[in-house]
Amino acid sequence: SYQYLDGSTPIKDRTKAVEDFQAGKGDVFLISIKAGGFDLNLTAADYVIHMDPWWNPAVEDQASDRAHRIGQKRPVTIYKLITKNTIEEKIVKLHENKKELANSLLEGTELTSKVSADDLIFSTSSTTAPATLSA
């Protein structure tokens, strides 16, 4: 059996689905990423599987963190299912570039002085990262 919620799930049903999952009623919890990003504690989960990437990697991280909570007694494994040569693959590359850029800005490394406007623009027609970020 499984539990399910998305953005249209009423709060009462959402609360019951979470409580049931936490109590062991359901082996799988299917959650749309935006509906599952906030106000959920899913310590009964030990696997998180992202079926499609979101444009902002922080949204995915926050959704994954629903299983990484105080009270989690098992390791949590996170999978991202991505098909080669698709827009999803490009979005994942964008995530990597954004995280690298953010880390360099926070750390004040040399990368920040090499960032161009092209590095900050994501083009769906491009198959490679901008030159300064692909090095």
What confidence category does residue 39 fall into, taking pLDDT thresholds of 50, 70 and 90?
confident
What is the distance between the alpha carbons of residues 110 and 66, in angstroms, rounded to a whole number? 35
Mean pLDDT rounded to a whole number for the chain: 82
- The token duo for 67 is 């299983």
φ/ψ region of 24 (left if φ > 0, alpha if ψ in -120 to 50, else beta) reads: left
Output 119 or 32, whichever has higher pLDDT: 32
pTM as predicted: 0.69
How would residue 70 be classed by pLDDT, with cut points 50, 70 and 90? confident
Give the pLDDT band (50/70/90) at residue 128. Answer: low
Domains of the chain, start order: 2-80 (3.40.50.300), 87-134 (no CATH)
Which residues have CB under 8 Å from 55's CB, separation 6+? Answer: 91, 94
- Lowest pLDDT segment from 46-50, 59-63, 117-121: 117-121
Residue 35 clears pLDDT 60, i.e. is over it:
yes
d(CA 129, CA 10): 41
For the beta carbon of residue 33, count every other beta carbon within 10 angstroms. Answer: 18
